[in-house]
Amino acid sequence: MSHFVRWAGIGVCVAALAAWAVLWLDPDGLGRAFRSAGGIATQGSAPVGGPFSLVDQTGAPVTDATWRGRWMIVYFGYTTCPDVCPTELQTIAAALDALGRQAAQVVPIFITVDPGRDTPARLADYVKLFDDRLVGLTGTAQQIDTVARAYRVYYAKVTPKESTTYLMDHSSFMYLMGPDGTLRALFRPGTSAQELAGAIRSRLPPAS
């Protein structure tokens, strides 16, 4: 059964990438900026991100302005993701380690696309598996829909045949947001921790 779930998960991830490609290949969209910038979209190239209102893994309400003044690395996923989410969160944690003291300027944020199952308590257990600095955010279905739209995240509930539980089909990019809350860079799934750390470091002021 777990074997099946794993393969179903991989299938869902492939479907998510295909869906993402269709969704984002609009002429004025992020897809163009992303491709032309060789995988890294810079500030002002596309309207990505925006206001949101969610709760963190302690149950405290937060908004997009909560971390204004610090950099944010934002990733969307869900705690029962069989494959891609854990890999990407490990990459983010390793990139923070590689940044050393400069990591204090960066807040890693994991936003669930599965608010029906990902309660604050569940997120609290999950994020600490990866890094103590990782913030987990959830909210109502409407709040999650709002933030996903702002970040152009594709997500959908999928129940594989013969499975009693559902998976979330979702796009899997990492977003680097600047201290003013605007998009500074976008990273493909599979980006290495070294690449991620290097791209963040190149944008940060030197550690004092």
Interface residues toward Ni ion, by CB under 5 A: 77, 81, 84-85
Beta bridge partner(s), residue 183: 177
50-88 burial code (b ≥16 CB/10 A, e <16): eebbbbbbeeeebebebbeeebbbbbbbbbbbbebbeeb
d(CA 151, CA 41): 13
Task: Specify the residue, 120 or 189, whose C-beta has the smaller distance to Ni ion.
Answer: 189
Least distance to Ni ion, CB of residue 23, Å:
16
d(CA 2, CA 35): 36
Least distance to Ni ion, CB of residue 129, Å:
14
Task: Specify the residue, 33 or 84, whose C-beta has the smaller distance to Ni ion.
Answer: 84
Least distance to Ni ion, CB of residue 191, Å:
15
Task: Specify the residue, 67 or 76, whose C-beta has the smaller distance to Ni ion.
Answer: 76
Phi first, then psi: give them for residue 131, nearest 5 degrees: -165, 135
Task: Specify the residue, 85 or 103, whose C-beta has the smaller distance to Ni ion.
Answer: 85
d(CA 71, CA 184): 9
Q: Which residues have C-beta within 8 Å of that of residue 44, sequence separation ≥ 6?
A: 182
Least distance to Ni ion, CB of residue 101, Å:
30
Task: Specify the residue, 84 or 177, whose C-beta has the smaller distance to Ni ion.
Answer: 84
Q: Are 28 and 34 in contact (CB under 8 A)?
A: no
Q: Which residues have C-beta within 8 Å of that of residue 153, sequence separation ≥ 6?
A: 76, 113, 147, 170, 171, 173
Task: Specify the residue, 56 or 118, whose C-beta has the smaller distance to Ni ion.
Answer: 118
Least distance to Ni ion, CB of residue 170, Å:
6
Residue-by-residue DSSP string for 27-39:
TTSHHHHHHHTTT
Least distance to Ni ion, CB of residue 40, Å:
22
